[in-house]
A = this chain, B = another copy of it.
């Protein structure tokens, strides 16, 4: 069994981007600039946004956090999105989800200019990805593809089961792995809460991707011997022994599943850091796209 080390893989990606940014600065160009909109004060969202800022600092991107109070109206937020769309100094931005329940997330996602949609959640990004055209691929699926690719994991002709059909992970994951590309060319089955015979289905998978957010859901009897297991789950589980009061738990019962695998991602240190690196890749892509268009 080998660990699919997302931490070291993401560090490699960040080094590559950092070198590119140094090159841009040396050539007298400005650095890429990412903005993040944070509405309210959800603890996990605070952490995610703080991490994004830190990542930008480390590799030399500019970053801006736009803080808005929990009571922000949909109109106010749409107004802020419109400003960011129009702001020539911002290459890409994200609106951290989840949003307070009085705001329609779809409406916000649809309002983000496709050229700046570095989270890849908007219809134009999703559609381009589906069509196999250059696109901002949402961060987690993109990170998983990088992890497979950079570790030389063979995917062609493999049976792949994706657990979970969310718009931002399961569904794009299934599309990316089934397309005629490398990595890709898997025979993909997308499973979800209505799937029958789940254990048997998963046990046939050469590559199993768990993205349902239920800690420890994937047990050893659901995993084929020699399988590649990718654990996208990162649920905060209360843990009094930690300073933070919680630990991150994956969807996979790691201790029992790992011995059966050829490769497995740990949680933390697997998909999480890859997701973070993907946002930086998308921001760099947005920057280059804009430079090509405008030669700013």
Contacts and interface: CB of A to CB of B under 8 A. Distances in A.
A126 B126 CA distance: 8
A18 interface: no
A182 to B, nearest CB: 11
A131 interface: yes
A250 B203 CA distance: 34
Nearest to A185: B194
A190 interface: yes
A187 interface: yes
The bracket for how many chain A residues form the interface is 35 or more
A174 interface: yes
Interface stretch (A7-15, A117-125, A238-246): A117-125
A130 to B, nearest CB: 5
A53 interface: no
Interface in A164-219: 165, 167, 171-172, 174-175, 178-180, 185, 187-192, 194-196, 201
A189 B192 contact: no
A201 to B, nearest CB: 7
B171 A130 contact: yes
A50 interface: no
Interface of A is mostly: mixed
Nearest to A131: B167
B192 A187 contact: yes
Nearest to A133: B106
A128 interface: yes
Given A157-B196, A189-B189, A132 B167 contact: yes
Interface in A112-159: 122-128, 130-133, 135, 156-157, 159
Contact of A178 (B130, B165, B180): B165
Contacts of A201: 187
A127 B106 CA distance: 12
Contacts of A171: 130, 175, 178
A190 B159 CA distance: 10
Given A185-B194, A187-B190, 17 more contacts: A106-B131, A123-B123, A123-B124, A123-B126, A123-B127, A123-B128, A123-B131, A126-B126, A126-B131, A127-B127, A127-B128, A127-B130, A130-B172, A174-B174, A174-B190, A187-B189, A187-B196
Interface of A: 106, 122-128, 130-133, 135, 156-157, 159, 165, 167, 171-172, 174-175, 178-180, 185, 187-192, 194-196, 201
Enumerate the 3 nearest inter-chain pairs by beta-carbon distance, A residue then B residue, closest first: A123-B127, A127-B127, A126-B127
